[in-house]
Structure 1
């Protein structure tokens, strides 16, 4: 089949009866074009299906239309879903991606990584690595020397940093308050690794909700996993041993929570009558276990989506010379998906 010929800027100019320079100004949204001329050029562009060359556009505007992404690794469900959102929005906004995986969360030598991105002339960077230990503080020291904007994902709010994050503390409170509303009085917590800021925030939400309700929240009421299903099994066994009166548990992520459901069923514990269970993440699998898992849905796809929007807005401002903008903070509120792991229903035959 004969390949369709690519429409050129010259054809658009001829059809709209304007110069090639005028078409270029319309494409780049320059203000020095009469409204009627702009309307006519845009109509021709749409009718002919003209697509400006990304290479030509970057040369004209001295931009690469490329975003650098530093990720925690795709073995984790959360970062994978966040990257899906980043990819979708970047494509919609006309940006390509350069991806680097940070294998050690606690590394304090990120300069080679930043220089790698800068050597490839990225327009901005999204730092999608969990806040573990002091890894954000090391990076923060290098920000004043960066010639491009950088957005952090999922970290504590800090002055001078642009951050897009889920409210993990609120999610922990929501989960615990829901269990209290179900009449549960001995609510344990199986946390993620507590050197992760997200895990600490979720635990604090659990702790504060219990204290506000004048309920028990001693050391014996919690145990710690590392986000994996296997660690969830071990930490749940530990929690059962040290907190035998537990009638509900808020688990720091869905992967560990699903292993808690499995162990509880194996041990003959009736869910939710004898043990109600809430997870955190909202992964698709959480709806397909029995009983389906009540979970705090943090919408990591939306997190990635919003990060790109926020970064591109900043890039556009920098292109106009506004490099002294106030850092942007966007906090996404999670939602509680209530299912049968906390609300009584008939078990299947």
Structure 2
């Protein structure tokens, strides 16, 4: 039957299935039984629509793995963080769909333990066999994750760790180190007698807290006194960041540097604009959304320290799949995301 005019319809006719079923097989979609899959593969090979080698490889890849569902819990963060993490999640889904892996995503809308636990329960009811999660430290959440692990549902944290849980691994940056790098940069940019403002997003998130602790540890080791440091918790809010920094710039003298360990860098830049009569402090922040890149190019901030958020979304799902379907042990991981120092000239 092989000829140069083979169509999906001719493959479907030979296999005794619909064109839609052939399309699902060709595009690695689910909802096709193994028996039907085999019939379509045989028809694809016989008609010449698919090379025998390709059909064989496809059959081998699909034949040995039982379908599984993996869950992802995202915090109540939007914008750059969500976009980059979802790129990694989507990449994992594309790579794993051949192996009958279905990835289910739940995003929190608030920073409350009850909502996070509710999202976890929804995924468990849907039958997930493994969980990738970014959330904050709360005893109820810690207990919930430990319950999952006790029920043979492995958990991998990403971006912000939960080290007191029985989670299998953490996929994220060494945030203490990144905070120390920020302190090293700051020390080389400002006068040793200057005051420094450090803005942190939410101290309930391990990653935010570790950045700040790393910064404080290293800047004091370099000779700065703790009374030179002003800590502001801004909850990643533009308005809170703008208001608190505006007040600080109006009331605190000799501010030489601002360390933005949170996501509202534009709030910092706008607060400084409102205080054009004061000397412009050096600003060091994290991550590389378009807004931050523009601020770097315009000279409104000095350095940013990047992390690989795409990889943080991607790797936990690959590790969970390898463990659940291939029995490959999950290796406890830290520092999985590279640390890069970015300035206007490296963009």
Shorter-chain TM-score range: 0.7 to 0.9
- The answer for the alignment partner of 1:291 in structure 2 is 299
Counterpart of 1:96 in structure 2 is: 102
Does 2:187 correspond to 1:180?
A: yes
Alpha-carbon distance between aligned partners in 1 of 2:175 and 2:189, rounded to the nearest angstrom? 22
The correspondence for 1:71, drawn from 66, 70, 74, is: 74
Higher alpha-carbon deviation: 142-151 or 223-232: 142-151
- Segments of structure 2 that go 5 or more residues without pairing to the other structure are 1-5, 12-21, 27-39
Whose helix proportion is higher, 1 or 2? 2
Structure 1 contact 220–243 (Cα < 8 Å) conserved: no
For the residues of structure 2 that align with 1:336 and 1:96, how far apart are their CA atoms? 36
In structure 1, the residue matched to 2:145 is: 140
TM-score (norm 1): 0.73
Question: How far apart, in 2, do the equivalents of 1:242 and 1:210 lie?
Answer: 23
Which of 272, 280, 297 is the equivalent residue of 1:264?
Answer: 272
1:164 aligns with 2:196: no
**Number of residue pairs matched by the alignment:** 301
Residues 243 and 149 (structure 1 numbering): CA distance in 2 closer, same or farther, change over 3 Å? same
Cα deviations by residue, 1:292-347 (Å, 9 ceiling, x for unpaired): 532111221121122222222222344xxx7xx5652232342221238xxxxxxx
Aligned to 1:9: 41
Q: Tell me the equivalent position of 2:207.
A: 198
Q: Give 1:106's aligned residue.
A: 112
Q: Per-residue displacement from partner, 1:208-243 (whole Å, max 9, x unpaired)? A: 121111112228622221112111101212322453
The Cα shift of 1:204 comes to: 0.7
Structure 1 regions of 5+ residues with no counterpart? Answer: 17-41, 341-349
Aligned pairs for 1:1-349 (under 5 A) are: 4=8, 5=11, 6=22, 8-11=40-43, 44-46=52-54, 57=62, 61-64=65-68, 66-73=69-76, 75=78, 77-94=80-97, 95-108=101-114, 113-127=119-133, 129-153=134-158, 154-158=160-164, 160-162=166-168, 163-185=170-192, 186=194, 187-218=196-227, 221-253=230-262, 255-268=263-276, 274-289=280-295, 290-291=298-299, 293=301, 294-318=303-327, 325=329, 328-331=332-335, 332-339=337-344
Give the conservation status (yes or no) of the 8 Å contact 2:149–2:167. no
The structural deviation recorded for 1:157 is 3.2
Q: How far apart, CA to CA, are the structure 2 residues paired with 1:242 and 1:310?
A: 50
TM superposition shift of 1:245: 0.9
Report the aligned-residue RMSD.
Answer: 3.4
Alignment correspondent of 1:28:
none
